[in-house]
Structures are given as C-alpha cells and as structure tokens.
Homo-oligomer: A and B are copies of this chain.
Amino acid sequence: MTTDFTATRALFDLPEGMVYLDGNSLGPLPRAVPDRVARTIRDEWGGMLISAWNKADWMAMPRRVGDRVARLIGAEPGSVVMGDTLSIKVYQAIAAGLDMNPARRVILSDNGNFPTDLYMAEGLCRTLGADYRLKVVAPEDVADAIDDTVAVLMLTEVDYRTGRRHDMAALTARAHAAGAIAVWDLAHSAGAFPVDLAGAGADFAVGCTYKYLNSGPGGPAFIYVAPRHADRAVPALSGWLGHAAPFAFDLSYRPGAGVERMRVGTPPILQLAALDAALDVWDGVAMADIRAASLTLADRFIQGVLAACPDLRLVTPRDPAIRGSQVSFAHPEGYAIMQALIARGVVGDFRAPDILRFGITPLYIGTAEIDRAVAVLATVMRERLWDRPEYRERAAVT
C-alpha cells in the first residue's frame, strides 16, 4: 500500500501556505492543465479551426474522456460519456429510468441528496404529469421505503453535508428485487474512493468532475448507462449529437448506439481538455491506496479535532464502511468559524444550516496539513476567533 503521495502532490499548483480541504467542492489546479488548454486554444481552435472536429478528434472526446472516467468508477469500457452538468445528467438518467418502468410513478430519494437532484426530479415529475411524484425520506429510511411503487431509486452515494455513505450494492440489489431502477449520483464518490458500478449492478450513474477529479470550475459531468440498458434507454433530452447519424441532418430523431445517445449538444472542448489533462494525475495511482490514505488522514483529523474542540459535534460516521472522503462537524456558529479558518489559510467550506465540511484528498494533502488544520481549528475555537464581526458577514456563495 502507498500512503506517500508526494509524487502526485507535485502535480498540483497549490497556493503557498494554504491547507486546502475543499477539494470536495472545487479540486485544485493540476499543473498539466494550463499548457493543455493553451494548446487546445492556439493549436487546435486557432490553428485548425473547424477541421479540429476531425483532426484534433474533438467530436470523440466525450466518449474517449468518458472511458478514462469509467476506469475510476468501476464502469465497463464504452459505458460513460461526458457532457453538460450534473443536473442535466440526473434528468437524463431518471427520465430514462422512469421510461423503462412505465407502470410505476414514484422516484424515491432521501433528504441527504444534493438539492439539485431533487429539484430536477421535481421538474421532471411536473413535466410528466400523470401522478408522477418524488418521494423523499430520511437516509436511514431508504431501504425500507423501496417497495413495488418505486420506479426509480435516485440516491447520491455520499451525503454532501455529513459524508455518510450509502451501501450502493445492497440498495441496488434491494431496488432490483422490488422491480425498481437504481440511479446513483457519484458527485462525492468519483475520485474519492473505489467505486464498482458494474459490480454493484447500478443501472445509471452520474457525477461531476470538478470535485475529486479536479477538472476546474464548471467541468463537464458524466453519465453511465449499464451496458444491458444502453441500447434501449430512451433519451428525454434528444439532442443532435445523441442521434445515430448527427451529420445526416435527418428531420426525425433516432438514438445513437449505446451511451452515445446520452450526448446532447456540442461538447465544451476547452473544459474537456482541462479534464483530460487533470485525469493524467490518476495514471499510476491505485484508488484503493487513495482510500486507505483518506481513511488514515480522516481518522487523524477526527481524533485531533474531537480532542481539541469539544464544542464541535462530529456528524460524519466513524465507521469507514459508511463514510466517504470528507469529515463534517456541526456548530451553530459554523459559518463564522469557517471564515476564521479560511482567514488563517485552512480552507474548508460551510453548508447551511450549521455544517463545517473538510474534504480529505490524499493526492495533495498529507499528515502535516491535517495537523496544521487541527491546530488552527483548535485556536479558532479556544480563542473564540469566530466571534469577530468580519467573519459573520455572509458572501453570496457559501
């Protein structure tokens, strides 16, 4: 097992002196990205112009880069395609799932799901009409709520607030036993720990790439369609690049082969280039090693904070089997505490109403950073530094 990630750390451009524990929100800049994007702009767009769609293979990028992501999430080759945003990909997945289960009307989710997943499901149900509805239960009640009314089980594997992790294989099996389709959101899973979509039997999965995969702000999302469904999943967002022959310019839609049908419009080539370069970081990294290091670092952080900051309440499960790669604490003054931390170079983030989140990312975070974060947090709490007015003013984006 490797827990020394000095080599991968050198692949990132991190501000001097900052302890960055927010890679679960926006991953830092991989050093390979600026040159790659610059070349895409100057040599491909500037130099080849329209011919770059063929010569620089832009048109194939969503699938080619999708295959690179597939390897990180236990997906079969050819089962993942990049594009759009996570919200759009959620819509595509649940729409296809509902379509495959036409006698049922319920999308089941939990209140720990990221809100956009719930919102997109709400919007889809409204468009579908006919009694379609989103049912939201507590995370711990999901298993029991899977019954024969459920068309689609839509869950985010790791809770964005608490870091609590669902058992993907068990819940997928339970969904299948009840005749439901399982859609997994891997926003806080992909790049955080080993995911085994194929082994779990997931039907659809979606995720973003700007967190643990470090693709940069607004990087393209992905969608996975299990190969057994890929040629029968009906795209609700039937865009031309998901057509069987986009450049025939037919007047009627015919879905493309396999996961290609989940493409919609023209792919964002600059963001795909950034993602492609960012994925180089994973060459030669075993996800099992990342996971082992993440757990070790997280335990060190939890123990340190609990010992030094009795007012902070741990909301992340201690059991490694049911947590992701973040550690969260609750405190009524969470927002101001986080601002005081950030002012001292320890960057996590805040999630309403009272959650302090810290992403554990061994690719570029080690024990020294964890120990410094504990020490600074201890100082902020002990000296009540969060009680200063400058830390209480809310920014637009938290």
- Which A residues lie at the B interface, using CB under 8 A? 13, 15, 18, 20, 22, 25-26, 28-29, 33-34, 37-38, 41-42, 44-47, 49-54, 58-60, 84-88, 91, 95, 111, 114-116, 118-120, 122-124, 126-130, 136, 208, 210, 216-221, 234-241, 243, 247-253, 264-272, 274, 342, 347, 349, 351-352, 395-398
Contact = CB atoms under 8 A, between A and B. Distances in A.
A352 to B, nearest CB: 5
A380 to B, nearest CB: 18
B395 A87 contact: no
A34 B42 contact: yes
Given A84-B265, A115-B249, A271-B271, A49 B238 contact: no
Contacts of A240: 87, 114-116, 119
Given A37-B37, A115-B240, A218 B266 contact: yes
Given A34-B41, A119-B240, A128 B126 contact: no
A216 B269 contact: yes
Given A13-B42, A116-B239, A120-B238, 6 more contacts: A37-B270, A52-B217, A95-B127, A119-B240, A123-B253, A129-B130
A50 B237 contact: no
A81 to B, nearest CB: 14
Contact of A29 (B29, B46, B218, B271): B46
18 contacts: A15-B47, A34-B42, A45-B216, A50-B347, A53-B217, A54-B397, A84-B84, A87-B237, A88-B237, A88-B264, A119-B243, A123-B235, A123-B238, A124-B127, A124-B236, A129-B130, A216-B270, A218-B267
A18 B51 CA distance: 13
By CB atoms of chain B within 10 A, which of A122, A130, A240 has the most? A240
